[in-house]
Chain A
Amino acid sequence: MGKTPGKTLLDKPAVAPKPPEFNFSQRADSKQPQLPVRNMALKQHSILPGFGLTMGFTLFYLSLIVLIPLAGLLLKSATISWDQFYAAVTDPQVVASYKITFGASLVAASVNAVFGLAVAWVLVRYSFPGKNVIDAMVDLPFAMPTAVSGIALTALYAPNGWIGRWLDPLGIEVAYTQLGIMVALTFIGLPFVVRTLQPALEDLDVEIEEAAASLGATRLQTFVRVIFPAIMPALLTGFALAFARALGEYGSVVFISGNLPMKTQIVPLLIMTKLEQYNYAEAAAIAVVALGASFAVLLFINIMQWWSRRYAAA
């Protein structure tokens, strides 16, 4: 879309993208009445170039890398009949892996909701030596490759590991049990709750707390009745994000879980096992169900964010 700037100004009686104070296009527009049709256009006019090029490339690359492969997954799972599909996704071993994945993700997200709230609160409200370093370290599970986290956690919680050797005499086994899956999923979900809660806590108006205090509320009452409702949407969003991430997690779990069918086999591991048996259709069917679950959680998160924005606006 190579146009000279002068020509663009004369040729295009454009509707400005949003009405700024500095609106040169209105001058060109003012002679002729604005056509209502223009608001129905797919794209509003702009004097900036490159829309066709960048949009074209975006759509092409998006289709090539993301959309076509994902469509291929749906098509593959459609190559088997509905009965076969149903049999594949309701096989006892598969159902057991759903339960393990869901249960462990739920426990991990809950642990993170409780301790993440404490961490976010401490990082926002208090000051203590080393706070900035600790704040930066919260992102470690994002930055650390999952395979590294996986073998590190396994080494820690194995019966002779730094933590495992204290739990072993108590009869608590972590590595190669469901507890180990929960530990790994807690690790990878930790930043989500903290990082969603931090801005929400920072945005809290201290005056409301002062008002609560001056009306005779104790600190605990202020927290339960004033602060907690205000940060509730952020807490739920963080919880759901940690949960969504845990549902699909593979690398950090594969080493610590032990991969025992019906006991410690999570859904991604089961898909991997099916792939290794060249059972592509069943792998695709299970993947479609898992993908559906992730999208449902994503939808929930979007609704939650809409709610929290409305809450902030009210």
Chain B
Amino acid sequence: MVGTATIKRTENVRCRAAAATTESRWVRWLLIGVSLTFLGLFLAMPLAAVFAQAFSRGWAMYVRSLGDSDALSAIRLTLLVALIAVPVNTVFGVAAAWAIAKFQFFGKSVLITLIDLPYSVSPVISGLVLVLLFGRQGWLGPWLEARGIHVVFAVSGIVLATLFVTFPFVARELIPLMQAQGTEEEEAARLLGASGWQTFRRVTLPNIKWGLLYGVILCNARAMGEFGAVSVVSGHIRGETNTMPLHVEVLYNEYNTTAAFAVASLLALLALVTLVLKSVLQWKTGEQLAPEEQGYTGD
């Protein structure tokens, strides 16, 4: 009897507490309405516009736009660039996170700030530095060109630009995660006789696999979607140095709107898939993954 009375009283208190710490119904609905209108205007409508424009002249035209040989070579180049940039930056990210999270050394916060640098450099400036270095008037450009290596207006420049802009993504995801996990499990593995590689593969890797995957997905989305930096170094040679975002620009500037939006719709799909995977991973790991904008804060 006493028990039920207590439960009832706590419930009452909770109800009253809730009433004191929430807004009246009309304020709530007003805020929800304002927020949804804002998001609808700025998120849903642009996304819907991409697909509406892509299919504005029917399915056949859509397929023909994507089957165009220049579009296909842009898709191939984008995949190639991502296939190089993502694994390289993943290896770097794991190495950097291992060095930073598992050891104590002087200058650690400076190193983390330096790794974050590409986040705060405008994409156009990222491309510009490569042109200054490898361009015809650049420091290394003439030397490399004498040896038949072209960087600016060539695929290697696009790869370098992509490496630059996607540089911090995996490292930024892994460093806080591995710092939070500490070193005790790895130390125990070493004491039990595991080699360094065994320790990493059997102890560390299983612990960080979701965070790693999360970083790789974000890195890939940026690698495939990068526009500014790649635009500076590519030279926009159709069928040769146009990635998908650049091909979108070329088509759009030629007033070939439907074809531009058809290619753009593939990139929008990539964005949607990225968001779905991201949500699944966040749900799976119970939000322990750091939100990626922390990467921009140099925290």
Interface residues in chain A, defined as those with a beta carbon under 8 Å from any beta carbon in chain B: 1-2, 5-6, 8-9, 17-18, 20, 22, 24, 42-44, 46-51, 53-55, 57-58, 61-62, 65-70, 72-73, 75-76, 115, 118-119, 121-123, 125-126, 128, 132, 134, 136-149, 151-153, 155-156, 161-163, 186-187, 190-192, 195-196, 199, 206, 209-210, 213-214, 219, 222, 237, 241, 244-245, 247-251, 254-255, 267-269, 271-272, 275, 278, 280, 283-284, 287, 290-291, 294-295, 297-298, 301-302, 305
With contacts A50-B196, A210-B20 known, is A66 near B117, CB below 8 A? yes
Nearest-neighbor residue (CB-CB) of A43 within chain B: B105
Flag if A134 contacts B36 (CB, 8 Å).
yes
Flag if A162 contacts B128 (CB, 8 Å).
no
Given contacts A49-B199, A219-B20, 5 further A-B contacts (CB under 8 A): A118-B35, A134-B36, A143-B270, A287-B124, A294-B120
- A72's partner among B111, B139, B252, B271 (CB-CB below 8 A) is B139
- B122's partner among A54, A125, A250 (CB-CB below 8 A) is A250
Is residue B221 within 8 Å, beta carbon to beta carbon, of the partner chain? yes
With contacts A137-B44, A147-B227, A151-B252 known, is A290 near B122, CB below 8 A? yes
Is residue B23 within 8 Å, beta carbon to beta carbon, of the partner chain? yes
Q: Which of B3-11, B57-65, B93-101 touches A?
A: B93-101
Report the number of A-B residue pairs with Cβ-Cβ less than 8 Å.
331
Flag if B297 contacts A126 (CB, 8 Å).
no
Nearest-neighbor residue (CB-CB) of A42 within chain B: B106
Flag if B298 contacts A213 (CB, 8 Å).
no
Nearest-neighbor residue (CB-CB) of B245 within chain A: A147
- A187's partner among B21, B46, B106, B163 (CB-CB below 8 A) is B46
Is residue B45 within 8 Å, beta carbon to beta carbon, of the partner chain? yes
- A54's partner among B98, B123, B226 (CB-CB below 8 A) is B98
| Listed A/B pairs (21) with beta-carbon separation below 8 Å | A2-B196, A20-B182, A46-B102, A47-B190, A50-B200, A62-B115, A65-B167, A69-B130, A118-B35, A122-B32, A140-B271, A143-B221, A147-B248, A148-B248, A155-B257, A190-B42, A219-B23, A219-B24, A219-B27, A254-B249, A305-B297
**CA A209 to CA B19, docked complex, whole Å:** 11
Flag if B46 contacts A17 (CB, 8 Å).
no
Nearest-neighbor residue (CB-CB) of A238 within chain B: B293
Flag if B53 contacts A155 (CB, 8 Å).
yes
Which 6 pairs across A and B sit closest by C-beta, in order of nearness?
A248-B122, A145-B225, A213-B20, A49-B196, A250-B228, A251-B227
**CA A17 to CA B268, docked complex, whole Å:** 45
With contacts A51-B103, A151-B261 known, is A295 near B120, CB below 8 A? yes
**B255-299 interface bits toward A, Cβ cutoff 8 Å, 1 = contact, 0 = none:** 001001100100110111011101100000000000111001111
Nearest-neighbor residue (CB-CB) of A241 within chain B: B296
Nearest Cβ on chain A to B136's Cβ, whole angstroms: 9
Is residue B149 within 8 Å, beta carbon to beta carbon, of the partner chain? no
Nearest Cβ on chain B to A297's Cβ, whole angstroms: 8
